[in-house]
Amino acid sequence: MDKNGNIILINQKGAEKLGYTKEELLGKNWFETVIPEKEREGVKIVFESVISGETEIAGYFENKVLRKDGSERIFVWHNTVLRDAKGNIVATVSAGEDITDKKVYDENREKLIKELQKALENVKTLKGLIPICAWCKKIRNDEGYWIKLETYLKEHTEADFSHSICPDCYEKMKKEIEETRKTKDII
């Protein structure tokens, strides 16, 4: 860019990333053409400060750009200045890289990490030796009382229970179940 912010040189790849041809961009004002309006003034102030020599150019600068189709992308810029024989700044040269997809990926990754950390805070785990009755399957709790397996697990996990009869138990208890159905009118 020249010291007025006009595009004096752009490579084919740079023009393509912005959705233009080189010819469409050459001579255009960079700020008016590719910087989104809401960021334009701030980026322009930084540029003018660099051109005037008040501020050193940031070797690394990140900002949004506006593509020809109206979509916005985030670019990281590696910048330097060009000086004339007297040492005056006459232009800037920048190499840009579109990091939009990386930014989105990083944001999604951070969001997922936070969600997983929150979920991990809610995880309850059972560890160690749990005394269980071999016959009735009650568990002895920390106070020494024997409680139902379901009660113990409910107190120490987030698990909920539904009850049914497995096929093996059904076969063993079939006669008793059928008798109960007949006498209590159960389906």
We report the CATH number of the domain holding residue 79 as 3.30.450.20
Q: Are residues 62 and 131 in the same domain?
A: no
Residue 81 belongs to domain spanning: 12-102
**Average pLDDT score over residue span 179-185:** 74
Instruction: Say whether 48 sits in a helix, a strand or coil.
Output: helix
Q: Are residues 125 and 94 in the same domain?
A: no
Q: Are residues 144 and 83 in the same domain?
A: no
Report if residue 107 sits inside a domain: no
pLDDT digits (tens, 9 = 90+) for 17-59: 999 999 999 999 999 999 999 999 999 999 999 898 888 887 7
pLDDT digits (tens, 9 = 90+) for 135-152: 888 888 888 899 998 888
Q: Are residues 96 and 133 in the same domain?
A: no
Q: Are residues 17 and 97 in the same domain?
A: yes
* Total of domains in the chain: 2
CA-CA-CA-CA dihedral for 154, 159, 164, 170, to nearest 10: -80
Q: Tell me the two tokens of residue 173.
A: 């208890």
> Partners of 39 in the beta sheet?
none
Q: Is the pLDDT of residue 2 over 90?
A: yes
Q: Are residues 24 and 98 in the same domain?
A: yes
Domain end marker among 102, 133, 164: 102
Q: Are residues 91 and 153 in the same domain?
A: no
Q: Are residues 124 and 94 in the same domain?
A: no
Report if residue 186 sits inside a domain: yes
Q: Are residues 135 and 92 in the same domain?
A: no
The beta strand positions in 7-151, using DSSP E, are 60-66, 72-83, 89-98, 139-140, 146-147
pTM value is 0.60
Report if residue 111 sits inside a domain: no
Report if residue 5 sits inside a domain: no
